[in-house]
Structure 1
Amino acid sequence: MTDYLSNLPVELIYKIVDDITIFDILGCLCLVNKRLRLICLGYNHFRLDLSYVKKRKQFDLFCDRLASISSQIDSLSFSDFNDATMPSKIERFFLRFQVINDKFSNLKSLHLSHVDPIMWKSIKNHVKLLMSLVSLFIDVAYIWVDADPDKEISYLLKDILFMSISLKHAHVRCNNGSRIYLSDICGKQISSIEHLTLTNVSIDLQQLYSIAPDLCTLNTRVTAYHPAYKFHVNPPENLQRLSLNISHLYFSLIEQILHSMKRLTHLIIIASDAFRDVTDGDEWERILTKIKSFKFLFRFHESTWTEEAISLDSFQSLFWLENKQWYVGYDRCTISGFSLLYSIPYCTNIYPWSYMKGAIDTKTTGPQILSLDKVNYCKIDNKFSIDDKRLCRLTNLQKLSISDFDISFHVLLNKFVPHIDMSIITTFCIPIRRVNINNDVFVQFVSTMSNLVSLGAPLILLKLLLVSHWSNIRRLEIFLSWPTATAVERSLTVDEIDVFFRSFTHIEYLSFQHNPDLNISEILNNIPITISNIVIGHPYRTIPADFPNFITPDWLQENTRLRNFSYYCNESNAVSLWL
């Protein structure tokens, strides 16, 4: 077979390699011939995502071989937030490469997930030594209220803002809805950050601008201001892209925020509890003349629901339709009056299903049909009621869950499934504990999700699936059964465990709550080699010494055949075993 790739110029091969993972480069391309091997080993922009390395032994072997090319890696990622082994991987990695700047001298981008205050304190000095680091992305683990999430996130952000003069891009994503306080450092330090994204974090713009004058891009949630509050902000001179998530939105607030932004070209506003004065297209025209791209989603305050429907006439001027070619959509629930005003195409991945009951009155200023292709998650409850046309526009739905009501499953089957391409669903959660579901119907329903990768359900439902083979499922979560469930419904016998793992032959992740009826020892003694991570939950605030059979390393040593694993227990008493 002719090898055309090897005959290409080196520069072009490097362009191709830019879109290939380091594992494919080293494991495939390097084996084609000597020339490709030499070219690949001379490549200086390897991007390494260690979430692809599942097993602990594989991780150690890969790290052993990493030393020879570590100076050629410019991007390092521990990025899968669904991977509970990440804390162990990060700890193991930084222990192995303690003199990290000497080894990864060309590292420009670093992404860390599951970062809690303890982990950050243990690794931040290593991260600070990365003198070539330009971009840092931190996914913060859920911080329990006892630890004061606002205070801990504020500390972390301050560390990042002033980490080094080389760092220009920073992204902090929280699982808590945190509010950042920077007043103690205002006027004392200046950050070199130019591009900042804060997800699920509220911040005071005045404080941020005073310490980050070089910002070119900002994406954050803004601290709520009273409409009578007057403030003057001095925005960064070079700020060009601004994305704000705002609660209680008045037009006067936007006017104050955008005042003096001479170079702003891209604006996104996501607002909850917006008021009627933001529906005047003429007023928006007055302040948006220099903006090239404007995207928005306004959810209106409950006090406006009983008022007349919003008119879109002011959004149909020459400025909106011809000069900018910006189109606006308006959805109003005919039952409650809840309404949305948004730019077209719809710009977020969430649609407020729980507020949209019954028929929806939709108006637009343009020819576009409303697309919900960015909406990837939907939760069904017993009151779910959306018109069929809107459901048909969910063309990219990936995650589906239903609430804890028997009727919800029947709503799902009768009102949802007929209008959705179920084959695109990759994640399904059904935490129903009291069920009255026909066995064959449930098995057939799960079968329609042919690309299902992650499944969460109580044991009583999972047992129904043991009649089939589910080789596509990689993640399996066993939810708690209803307290009145029988011991048979809550447990797995030795024979059932064998059938269980013969039905789910390719699972890599298994999680369940500690349950004395579950036969945990037998489960752990019979896990297939495909599993790399097991998570066992315990009641929150439980002291291991006071909880019978709390899963500890000693308990595992005495009651199972598991060996050579990494053990991690987080603040919520969830034990993660990395095999």
Structure 2
Amino acid sequence: NVRAETEYGKSNRISSVRINFIQRRLKFDYICYYLRPEQVISLIFSDDNMSDQVIVFQRYFLYFKYQFINLRCIKFIRTDDILFDLPYSVSALTFQGCMYVSQRIVETIVKQAKSLTYLKVDCIHLLQSIDITFPSLTYLHICDVGMKIFCCFLKENESSFNDYHLSIKNLRSPIQHLKLSIENKNFIDYNSIFNFDYLSHCLTNLTLICLINKTFSFEFIQHYLIQLLNLKSLTIIIKLDLIDGKQWEEFIRKTKIIKFNFQFILSESITFTQNKSILLDSFRSVFWLKEKYWYVACNKHRSNQNTQIYVYSIPKFLPTCINYTKDYYPPLSTVPSNDEQRIFYSKYIEHLCLDFNKSIDDLPRNYRFSHVNSLNLIGSTLPSIDNIMSIVDLNQIKELDISHIKNISIGEIHLLLEHIPNLNHLIFKNFIPLFKPPSHIYSFTIEKWKLSDDLNLFCRMFPHVKSLKIYINSLEMMIELINRLKYLESILVWYNFEKHVPFISMNWLRRNIPRL
């Protein structure tokens, strides 16, 4: 099995090709061969790691509908095909990024109408052609990507948001959990966005992400939300004309809401001259800090030439990608000092960047990031291990980027790696001759490859690599890497492929790479 993907960049005509090899297919075959269908309750298909998963799966299970008698949930994530005739037991369906089988998705949803309790789709247009009751559907998620796709199906004519509500209303379902993301700029009837009165008897959890360039007032939002009599959980992202914690406190007291998360964006048309801490004063009342223990943070966000004020609940909307020496972290907040380690430093951080070219004297030494996945170190030289460990727990790091350390020796790299036992992905700027990585690190990125670099030496020093991202200077180099690195499962190469596009194909790859 081979999957090749091509991505073209806008600068220097550089593009990338990604290839996944037979090992992923072997693992998939192994699972299918030993799988006991009657024991399976959930299936997830994704073509991201292996192409045609659904088709291969169907070859193993010709009578899928009658074999998986206890199946409850199926997710299709960016697949080119879907399973069409599903067991009656399936009550939860997710379709994410399956753009080429939209009609089959609609037909599948309709077939499961009686048993469906959970539905996640990319696009509201998938529901517009459905005219059947879903008596058990309690969870509906129309995700953010879907609205972008939906915009492509709309004509240039402006559309009313009432049509959006009508599609949900026509399902005639007792929806309790509703999650919507609104990005379509063609809507003209913004006044009906919050009008969920047709769900007032059943809706308990509402997540509304409103990403349009429209500023709303608190009074407008309150008018509609107060009608949702059974609402217990509210998550909202929206642009407001005014942010006042006292108003939201009074509103919450009138409702049954026990969970409230928000990200309020103060309109850029408003000149904010007060100190940001004053903006948070209305969120420091007994209600926020003692009754609910709901903490709020505030920062500025620059977008193009505009500067916007963000006020958001934490930890829900805390960033997971942090440039520690550039961003103001932790942000100004209402969190008590004795709770800062838990809220700001013990939470999961996807990516942490430490720039040692800048002063770090002001960083609070009594706090430390304890759960970081990816660490990027920047500086003219590698800082001391003790210095790094005083900021971040290296035991949790899975990915390390040292491509921005200008001067680093092989000994320094090995010393650093000894303190990162769970590392599996290492990022270099250039190939470092004579550096032999530890065997437990199997994934690498090399951003630049010089003409003087020795490919033979690389293959000898990195024989166990399973995943590789690398800049190449010829197609011959790509072929040699693939043929010589026998454990390689996935490779992403950057190269100017434009002049080779007419003859590069899957057949060409198979002719030149015997292992495919």
Q: Normalized against structure 2, the TM-score is what?
A: 0.72
After superposition, the Cα gap between the structure-2 partners of 1:380 and 1:411, relative to the gap in structure 1 and judged at 3 Å, is farther
**AA partner of residue 75 (structure 2):** H
Shift of 1:451: 1.5
Shift of 1:91: 3.1
Task: Indicate yes or no: 2:506 matched with 1:552.
Answer: yes
1:334-349 equivalences in 2 (<5 Å): 339-348=309-318
Q: State which of 158, 167, 170 in structure 1 corresponds to 2:116.
A: 167
**Contact 1:306–1:337 (CA under 8 A) maintained in structure 2:** no
Task: Indicate yes or no: 2:332 matched with 1:362.
Answer: yes
1:269-314 Cα shifts (integer Å, max 9, x gaps): 244xx33523332344224531011122335444557431344443
After superposition, the Cα gap between the structure-2 partners of 1:400 and 1:331, relative to the gap in structure 1 and judged at 3 Å, is same
**Contact 1:353–1:384 (CA under 8 A) maintained in structure 2:** no
Q: State which of 33, 51, 63 in structure 2 corresponds to 1:64.
A: 33
Which residue in 2 is equivalent to 1:394?
369
1:304-343 equivalences in 2 (<5 Å): 306-308=272-274, 309=276, 310-322=278-290, 324-332=291-299, 339-343=309-313
**AA partner of residue 217 (structure 1):** H
Classify the secondary structure of the residue corresponding to 1:388.
coil
Task: Indicate yes or no: 2:102 matched with 1:137.
Answer: no
- What fraction of aligned residue pairs are identical, expressed as a percent? 20
Classify the secondary structure of the residue corresponding to 2:197.
coil
**AA partner of residue 60 (structure 1):** D
1:457-472 equivalences in 2 (<5 Å): 457-458=428-429, 460-461=430-431, 463=432, 466-472=434-440
Q: State which of 106, 111, 116 in structure 1 corresponds to 2:75.
A: 111
Classify the secondary structure of the residue corresponding to 2:54.
helix
Task: Indicate yes or no: 2:175 matched with 1:210.
Answer: no
Which residue in 1 is equivalent to 2:61?
97
Q: State which of 225, 238, 249 in structure 2 corresponds to 1:258.
A: 225
1:171-209 Cα shifts (integer Å, max 9, x gaps): 35x7xxxx64468438x4444532133443365662453
After superposition, the Cα gap between the structure-2 partners of 1:332 and 1:493, relative to the gap in structure 1 and judged at 3 Å, is closer
Q: State which of 174, 191, 195 in structure 2 corresponds to 1:230.
A: 191
**AA partner of residue 210 (structure 1):** K
Distance in 1 (CA, whole Å) between partners of 2:206 and 2:365 is 30
**Contact 2:127–2:168 (CA under 8 A) maintained in structure 1:** no
After superposition, the Cα gap between the structure-2 partners of 1:395 and 1:544, relative to the gap in structure 1 and judged at 3 Å, is same
Classify the secondary structure of the residue corresponding to 2:372.
coil
1:32-47 equivalences in 2 (<5 Å): none
**Contact 1:428–1:456 (CA under 8 A) maintained in structure 2:** yes
Shift of 1:398: 0.8
After superposition, the Cα gap between the structure-2 partners of 1:202 and 1:334, relative to the gap in structure 1 and judged at 3 Å, is closer
**AA partner of residue 330 (structure 1):** A
Distance in 2 (CA, whole Å) between partners of 1:517 and 1:391 is 51
Which residue in 1 is equivalent to 2:351?
378
CA RMSD, 1 decimal: 4.3
Distance in 2 (CA, whole Å) between partners of 1:551 and 1:514 is 18
Shift of 1:334: 12
**AA partner of residue 480 (structure 2):** E
Distance in 2 (CA, whole Å) between partners of 1:155 and 1:430 is 47
1:244-283 equivalences in 2 (<5 Å): 244-247=208-211, 250=216, 251-252=218-219, 254-271=221-238, 274-283=239-248
After superposition, the Cα gap between the structure-2 partners of 1:301 and 1:194, relative to the gap in structure 1 and judged at 3 Å, is same
Shift of 1:169: 1.6
Larger relative contact order (C-alpha < 8 A, sep ≥ 6)?
2
Distance in 1 (CA, whole Å) between partners of 2:481 and 2:139 is 47
Structure 2: runs of 5+ lacking an equivalent: 1-21, 148-160
Which residue in 2 is equivalent to 1:451?
422
Task: Indicate yes or no: 2:478 matched with 1:520.
Answer: yes
1:487-520 Cα shifts (integer Å, max 9, x gaps): 124xx4224312221xxx3x43334456417623
Classify the secondary structure of the residue corresponding to 1:423.
helix
Which residue in 2 is equivalent to 1:221?
181
Which residue in 2 is equivalent to 1:476?
444
**AA partner of residue 230 (structure 1):** N
Distance in 1 (CA, whole Å) between partners of 2:177 and 2:381 is 43
Distance in 2 (CA, whole Å) between partners of 1:337 and 1:392 is 30
Shift of 1:452: 1.4
Classify the secondary structure of the residue corresponding to 1:297.
strand
Q: Normalized against structure 1, the TM-score is what?
A: 0.65
Q: State which of 489, 494, 499 in structure 1 corresponds to 2:461.
A: 499
Q: State which of 416, 424, 427 in structure 1 corresponds to 2:399.
A: 427
Distance in 2 (CA, whole Å) between partners of 1:90 and 1:263 is 40
After superposition, the Cα gap between the structure-2 partners of 1:431 and 1:561, relative to the gap in structure 1 and judged at 3 Å, is same
Distance in 2 (CA, whole Å) between partners of 1:319 and 1:222 is 31
**AA partner of residue 328 (structure 1):** Y
